[in-house]
Homo-oligomer: A and B are copies of this chain.
C-alpha cells in the first residue's frame, strides 16, 4: 500500500542506487523513460540529480513544465522499464497517443505536480526543477527539489527498505547493461573500526 514518506527520508528511496523511471507532462502530452543515472543530491529539503538526454521526448516536457517524477520500479516491471527505456515517445505523440496508452501502463495523479505516477512501482518522488540552464545544456543534468514522496509499505517503511520481508518481485532494479538488472540480495552491516 502506498504511504507518504516524510521529506527528510526521501533520499533513502534512491540511496542504494536503483534505476528509476522518469515521467513528465505538459500541454496535454505525457511521457515516461528509464534512467539509471539518478541520485540524491541533498537531505532536507531533499534534492535529486538526474541525467535526461537532449534527444528524449521527456526532456522537452520537463523543461516546459519545470517538474518531473522519479519513480522506483521493481523486478515485476523489468519488461516495462526496458521497453520505455528503448522506445521514444515522440512518434507516439505525433500520432496522438503515448506510451501509457500503447503499452497499457496504468498511472495515477501526483499530489503536487502534473507528471503521471506509474502504478506498480515501489516509490515515487515528485520533483520541481532547480533551474541550471547552462548545466542542463552542457551535461543534460537536471537538479530538482523533491516536494512529495511516497513508497509501497510492503518494502519501505519507517525510513528503511526491507526487501527480505516481501515478494522478490518487489525488489528494485539496478541496471548493468542491455536490459540486464541486478536485484538487491543479502544485507550486510558495516562497523566503525577504531584506529590501530
Binding site for B on A (CB under 8 A): 12, 15-19, 36-42, 47, 49, 51, 75, 78-83, 86-87, 102-104, 132, 135, 139-141, 143, 159-161, 163, 168, 171, 173-177, 179-193, 195-196
Contact = CB atoms under 8 A, between A and B. Distances in A.
A124 to B, nearest CB: 18
A180 B160 CA distance: 10
A41 B159 contact: no
Given A17-B36, A39-B49, A190-B82, A182 B163 contact: yes
Copies in the complex: 2
A182 B161 contact: yes
A41 B141 contact: yes
Contacts of A176: 12, 15-16, 160-161, 187
A18 B17 contact: yes
Contacts of A79: 190-193
B186 A183 contact: yes
A16 B161 contact: no
A174 B37 contact: no
Contact of A78 (B16, B75, B161, B189): B189
Nearest to A180: B189
A143 B17 CA distance: 18
12 contacts: A12-B176, A15-B37, A16-B181, A39-B39, A41-B139, A79-B193, A83-B193, A141-B143, A163-B182, A173-B188, A179-B190, A179-B192
